[in-house]
Amino acid sequence: MDTIARADVLVTSPSRNFVTLKITTTDGVVGWGDATLNGRELAVASYLADHVVPLLIGRDPSRIEDMWQYLFKGVYWRKGPITMTAVAAVDMALWDIKGKVAGLPVYQLLGGASREGVLVYTHASGSDIPSLLDDIAQVKEHGYRAIRAQTAVPGVAGTYGVKHGAYYEPANAALPEEQSWSTEAYLDFAPRYLAEVREKFGFDFHLLHDIHHRLTPIEAARFGKSVEDLHLFWMEDPTPADNQESFHLIRQHTTTPIAVGEVLSSIWDVHHLITEQLIDYVRLSVTHAGGITHLRRIFALAELYQVRSGSHGPSDISPIGQAAATHLDLVIPNFGIQEHMGYPGLVDEVFKGGPTYADGYLHPGDAPGLGIDYDETAAATFPYSPKYLPVARRLDGSVHDW
């Protein structure tokens, strides 16, 4: 019987940090899994190398569900982003191996394509309204049918979501940068710039906006109400979802659709949001939510409540995680949209292949497994470089949600 012969945890930083799990079977089949958790990369690398890799050796790589249960239930300490990212990496690598052994792309193993391609949204941003409008014009030229629009807020130094150069990279410093925040300035400015976007470009594309957990429920309700005429595809993370109940309050006031999930990692983090129909899009990622095996279960629950998928796909999820997401997106009946930020150039030197983009859609391709390769020689030339997400402080100096 083919068993797991070895597993290696690889850390590289071709412009940004990525953690990758490589599983090799006794037959020489290699599976790749993404284990990148922005700003906490080495915690997941250690969890894998010190506590998971020794458990994998000699086990049957074809028993994906059993491996998932073993790593989730078997360890006693369940859930949380570090654990669920580590479990995800093993899960992805095993799906990659299963596809390679079968000679089929992973989406075929999951039931086959339900659509021709995966609708994606990308980011447009600016330091002010004119530069945001210029960026949207450029993004539209690349064929995107869905665009997330963010602009720096006057008086708020370092507003989240704004690109510096060609890419948005929030983990930007060896120690967390301190940024500022004013809810009043944001609530005054954001609806006005989103209105200008619709005024200039019309309504024939999906417009998305990320609030990044910055509002209280009643503030989020006010925001959602104020942009109803702009027909946003969604307002993302209007308030932290630690208290799932609090979304009842937002729902009572606005029909602006709501998307939540990028910092969450298990079905238990969203089950109330889903079963009470408090959100419209669930945004957990394959990489941070236990892999294909667990995210598929979350999407299956969501389907019963007419909640669609909208997975997180920033540049801090590696191309392996993005590939895994694209396979799942192609199959599930309640797919909504997939985030697609793209990567800085050096990333292509390490990660080879993966989904292809055309005309607003991604496709995972038909190579066996996840369809992506990792160049270990190139990766070794980009050593780990500590990078942290910023911290947000209110104008009075107190810490705000990031």
Residues assigned a catalytic role: 160, 212
25 vs 85 by CB, closer to Mg ion:
85
Write 331-334 long-range contacts (CB < 8 A, 24+).
331/107, 331/110, 331/111, 331/112, 331/113, 331/114, 332/114, 332/296, 332/299, 332/300, 332/303, 333/114, 333/303, 334/299, 334/302, 334/303, 334/306, 334/307, 334/308, 334/309
Which residue type occupies 1?
M
Structure tokens at 31: 């599976």
- Within 373-402, which residues bind ligand KDG (CB under 6 A)? 389
What is the C-alpha separation between 40 and 20, in angstroms, rounded? 14
What is the C-alpha separation between 238 and 218, in angstroms, rounded? 10
Closest CA to 273 of 233, 296, 306, 297: 306
**Which residues pair with residue 42 across a beta bridge?**
none
- Residue 25 phi, psi dihedral angles, 5° rounding: -95, 170
DSSP state of 300: H
Task: Choose, by CB under 6 A, the member of 100, 209, 288, 312 that binds ligand KDG.
Answer: 312
Least Cβ distance, residue 236 to Mg ion (angstroms): 5
23 vs 118 by CB, closer to ligand KDG:
118
**Candidates 199-207, 217-225, 309-317, 321-329; binding stretch for ligand KDG (CB under 6 A):** 309-317
- Within 34-53, which residues bind ligand KDG (CB under 6 A)? 38
DSSP reduced 3-state for 346 = coil
Q: Is 170 in the site for ligand KDG (CB under 6 A)?
A: yes
329 vs 339 by CB, closer to ligand KDG:
339
Least Cβ distance, residue 283 to Mg ion (angstroms): 7
191 vs 314 by CB, closer to ligand KDG:
314
Q: Is 339 in the site for ligand KDG (CB under 6 A)?
A: yes
Q: Is 210 in the site for Mg ion (CB under 5 A)?
A: yes
Least Cβ distance, residue 150 to ligand KDG (angstroms): 9
83 vs 315 by CB, closer to ligand KDG:
315
Task: Choose, by CB under 6 A, the member of 41, 91, 96, 210 that binds ligand KDG.
Answer: 210
What is the C-alpha separation between 283 and 312, in angstroms, rounded? 5
Least Cβ distance, residue 212 to ligand KDG (angstroms): 6
17 vs 244 by CB, closer to ligand KDG:
17
- Within 91-110, which residues bind ligand KDG (CB under 6 A)? none
How far CA 321 is from CA of 77, 148, 187, 275, 402, in Å, comes to 24, 21, 34, 27, 23
What is the C-alpha separation between 398 and 178, in angstroms, rounded? 11
What is the C-alpha separation between 220 and 249, in angstroms, rounded? 9
Least Cβ distance, residue 252 to ligand KDG (angstroms): 25
Q: Is 363 in the site for ligand KDG (CB under 6 A)?
A: no
Task: Choose, by CB under 6 A, the member of 22, 98, 212, 327 that binds ligand KDG.
Answer: 212
Task: Choose, by CB under 6 A, the member of 311, 316, 367, 382 that binds ligand KDG.
Answer: 316
Least Cβ distance, residue 334 to Mg ion (angstroms): 20
The contact set with ligand KDG (CB under 6 A) reads: 38, 170, 210, 212, 262, 312, 314, 316, 339, 389
